[in-house]
């Protein structure tokens, strides 16, 4: 890396010019801004206390010294306190030649250290996956892949929320109004069938509450005393007591949902190394709560409920067990965290969960620390903003969610409509067209979601996501197909690029710009891994595609008369397509060979 060599040289320069010993961290080296000449810029201001001179004078002295001592530096200019350095074309060509020979350019070998366990998806078995789950799944899967690319060992896990009052609501509604219907008899995906009964429960429950209010009962009291909610709570108590009939129905309905989830996950392109179930972890959580109660870490109220007092930590009192002895989300999260630690002894337990749960995970960490779990410091909540729609927020119980399956279907249909209007794929077979529309549609969806910084709330508009000219997955896919077309034409013409012809080549401005962007890929992967941000990979991919298109339009490739230049540009094109595939692959996006 030229930055490392430059840092070493600057350390020597400061010692020689100013008789000062400094640590490398003092040097700020960054890419030169596009409006200035140069490749790398040294920020001189931190060095003024060493030189005791004006910024321009210091920068000029350092620039002159580096020109004389570092062969890769061929020129410099000074803009106030910024030293802009020009790196020799021979360096960029040497980098390019060595990078092409790497099997996994941009990736680090896996380090021998404890793994990162990253949880994402976390669906409930009372409803199908929706748009919010789509962002969760795509973000979690992509962060896992980026961490692996940066050399981390990663365990991808899912926690299925398969028990609780919300699950009982779907079960009870099916019992009352299902008439024995199944996914097989209805022709409906199991997760959607069960989700419909969850919506039906809410509809019937609200009608009961309204009826009680009409009879003169207070609305809050009516919500607690409506027969349906009392029956659902009774079913939950029976479930925790192991009632055979309740457990049998629970297993059957959950099996319908899992089959539906699997179809959705497969189409979405996400997977897991291990799946945990709340029904298998809540008992471990209850045992931890009992232990904390015995050791006076927690306390019991008069109604029998168990609490943890976190007021000294600047939080509040947290319920851990209800008065009837049933668990809450925190109970099972305690058990799940302990189980994952026992399974993997990870360096970090990462949870990809929406920002409405920020407080929950702060509490989880504090409760575990109160229980003496030193590894609780490794808990990290990868908080992300909600996905909103042009017409407002989604509500599961009211049935106003954007279904994940329907969204993916809509994206493929939008891709087909947009592409057909442009007349791009008239020569494709029906099967080729269907595969391509799926690739474009899902690529557009994934890119549109992942290019936004995770912490930001985002507005999703399917129509805006498929555009062959903007900052979209479709634009990057089209650029890749363009590169592959150039390479196919070269092969058809019998041209086999020879990289030995690069020696002594003088780089055009656009060739150098493209190589410099390719050079940035490993650092981009590292930065994205540090920030847990696929957006950095997405936006890098867009910049690389945009830069290639400028290169393609400004310079001749196949018609270039100089064989050395032609071969170099073909090799540069091929390597660009490789890096685009690698980068977009970290987002779960496929790039087509032709479009």
What gap in Å lies between CA 570 and CA 501, rounded to an integer? 12
Token output for 21: 């010993």
115: left (phi over 0), alpha (psi -120 to 50) or beta: beta
In order of 12, 26, 49, 76, the CA distances from 16 in angstroms are: 6, 16, 15, 19
Q: Output DSSP code: residue 561.
A: S
Q: CB atoms < 10 A from the CB of 108, how many?
A: 15
CA angle 195, 198, 201 (to 5 degrees): 155
**pLDDT (0 to 100) of residue 398:** 47
**pLDDT (0 to 100) of residue 193:** 97
Regions in the chain scoring below 50 on pLDDT: 392-399
Domain boundaries, the chain: 2-87, 120-388, 404-585
What CATH number belongs to 404-585? 1.10.730.10
**pLDDT (0 to 100) of residue 138:** 97
- Fold type of domain 2-87: Gyrase A; domain 2 (3.30.1360)
**pLDDT (0 to 100) of residue 394:** 42
Note the pLDDT tens digit of each residue in 110-169: 999 999 999 999 999 999 998 889 999 999 999 999 999 999 999 999 999 998 899 999
- Which CATH superfamily is 120-388 part of? HUPs (3.40.50.620)
- β pairing state of 306-309 and 317-321: antiparallel
**pLDDT (0 to 100) of residue 498:** 87
**pLDDT (0 to 100) of residue 396:** 42
Q: Give the residue from 127, 123, 122, 272 showing the smallest Cα distance to 190.
A: 127
Please report which residue ranges of 349-469 form alpha helices under DSSP H.
Answer: 358-370, 404-422, 430-450, 462-465
Q: CB atoms < 10 A from the CB of 163, how many?
A: 24
Q: Output DSSP code: residue 392.
A: B
Q: Give the residue from 217, 178, 331, 268 showing the smallest Cα distance to 589.
A: 268
In order of 514, 521, 571, the CA distances from 96 in angstroms are: 10, 12, 10
Residues of the chain with pLDDT > 70, as a percent, come to 97
**pLDDT (0 to 100) of residue 555:** 97
Contacts of 308 (CB under 8 A, 6+ apart): 292, 297, 298, 317, 318, 320, 367, 370
């Amino acid at each position: 890396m030229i930055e490392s060599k430059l840092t070493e040289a600057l350390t020597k320069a400061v010692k020689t010019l100013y008789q000062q010993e400094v640590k490398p961290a003092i040097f700020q080296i960054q890419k030169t801004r596009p409006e200035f000449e140069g490749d790398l810029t040294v920020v001189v201001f931190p060095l003024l206390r060493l030189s005791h001179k004006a910024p321009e004078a210091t920068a000029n002295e350092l620039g002159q010294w580096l020109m004389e001592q570092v062969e890769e530096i061929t020129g410099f200019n000074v803009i106030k306190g910024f030293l802009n350095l020009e790196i020799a074309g021979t360096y960029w060509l040497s980098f390019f030649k060595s990078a092409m020979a790497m099997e996994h350019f941009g990736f680090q070998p896996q380090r021998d250290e404890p793994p990162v366990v990253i949880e994402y998806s976390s669906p409930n078995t009372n409803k199908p996956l929706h748009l919010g789950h789509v962002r969760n799944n795509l973000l979690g899967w992509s962060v896992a892949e980026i961490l692996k690319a940066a050399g981390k060992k990663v365990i991808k896990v899912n926690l299925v929320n398969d028990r609780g009052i919300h699950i009982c609501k779907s079960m009870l509604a099916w019992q009352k109004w299902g008439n024995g219907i199944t996914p097989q008899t209805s022709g409906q995906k199991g997760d959607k069938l069960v989700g419909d009964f969850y919506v039906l429960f809410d509809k019937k429950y609200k009608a009961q509450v309204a009826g009680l209010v009409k009879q003169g009962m207070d609305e809050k009291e009516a919500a607690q005393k409506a027969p349906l909610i009392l029956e659902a709570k009774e079913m939950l108590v029976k479930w925790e007591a192991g009632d055979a009939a309740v457990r049998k129905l629970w297993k059957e309905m959950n099996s319908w949902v899992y089959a539906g989830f699997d179809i959705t996950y497969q189409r979405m392109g996400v997977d897991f190394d291990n799946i945990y179930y709340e029904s298998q972890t809540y008992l471990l959580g209850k045992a931890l709560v009992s232990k904390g109660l015995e050791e006076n870490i927690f306390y019991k109220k008069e109604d029998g409920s168990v609490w943890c007092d976190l007021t000294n930590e600047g939080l509040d009192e947290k319920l851990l067990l209800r008065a009837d002895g049933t668990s809450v989300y925190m109970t099972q999260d305690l058990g799940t965290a302990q189980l994952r630690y026992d399974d993997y002894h990870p360096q970090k337990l990462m949870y990809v969960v929406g920002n409405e749960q920020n407080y929950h995970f702060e509490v989880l960490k504090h409760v575990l620390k109160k229980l003496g779990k030193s590894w609780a410091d490794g808990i990290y909540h990868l908080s992300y903003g909600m996905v909103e729609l042009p017409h407002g927020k989604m509500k599961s119980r009211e049935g106003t969610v954007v279904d994940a399956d329907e969204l993916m279907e809509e994206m493929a249909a939008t891709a087909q409509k947009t592409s057909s209007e442009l007349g791009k794929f008239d020569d494709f077979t029906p099967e080729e067209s269907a595969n391509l529309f799926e690739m474009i549609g899902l690529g557009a969806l994934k890119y549109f979601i992942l290019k936004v910084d995770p912490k930001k709330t985002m507005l999703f508009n399917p129509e805006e996501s498929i555009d062959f000219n903007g900052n979209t997955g479709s634009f990057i896919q089209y650029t890749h197909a363009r590169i592959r077309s150039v390479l196919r034409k070269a092969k058809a013409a019998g041209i086999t690029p020879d990289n030995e012809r690069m020696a002594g080549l003088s780089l055009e401005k656009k060739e150098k710009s493209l190589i410099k962007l390719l050079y940035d890929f490993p650092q981009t992967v590292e930065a994205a891994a540090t920030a847990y941000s696929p957006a950095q990979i997405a936006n890098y991919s867009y910049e690389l595609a945009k830069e290639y298109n400028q290169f393609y339009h400004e310079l001749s490739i196949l018609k270039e008369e100089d064989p050395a230049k032609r071969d170099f540009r073909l090799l540069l094109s091929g390597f660009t397509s490789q890096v685009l595939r690698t980068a977009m692959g970290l987002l779960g996006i496929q790039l087509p060979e032709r479009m």
